[in-house]
Amino acid sequence: MSDLQIGDQAPDFEASTDGNGRLKLSDFQGQNVILYFYPKDDTPGCTTEACAFQDNLPNFQTKDAVVIGISKDTPAKHDKFKEKYQLDFPLISDEDGAICESYGTWVEKSMYGKKYMGIDRATFLIGSDGKILEIWRKVKVPGHVEAVLSALEEKKAA
């Protein structure tokens, strides 16, 4: 379990994306990156969150920020999810969980008394220098995207 803090260098990675692509975090040096981890494509909370990021994409782009989603779903599942909801940002497939591990988002969860491992819904705002500007853990979807936008505006002003 990683204990990343604000000010730490964001762990770099290279991974498969939707559309049979590859993406490397360091390719976005010079831009702000909103890296959000979510449990599963096409589930109610994850769909709401993805659509909220999509709806606000122009606002993020005017702040020189890119949005990247990460789950353990396969690239093929990501393709279906993106097509169904017209998502216009990359979705990373972290099938082996290495990225989730490095960001500390692979955690023990509990539902109805059963314990299991899963992705903690979390978002990292990474600055143009690759350092973590803000971290949201145990994200509640309503109002979250607005909080990320607001933090991005504050960091830009600073």
- Contact by Cβ (8 Å): 66, 81: no
- CA 119/CA 105 separation, integer angstroms: 5
Q: At 93, which amino acid appears? A: S
**Residues that are catalytic:** 46
**Contact in structure between 62 and 1 (CB atoms under 8 Å):** no
CB atoms within 10 A of CB 7: 9
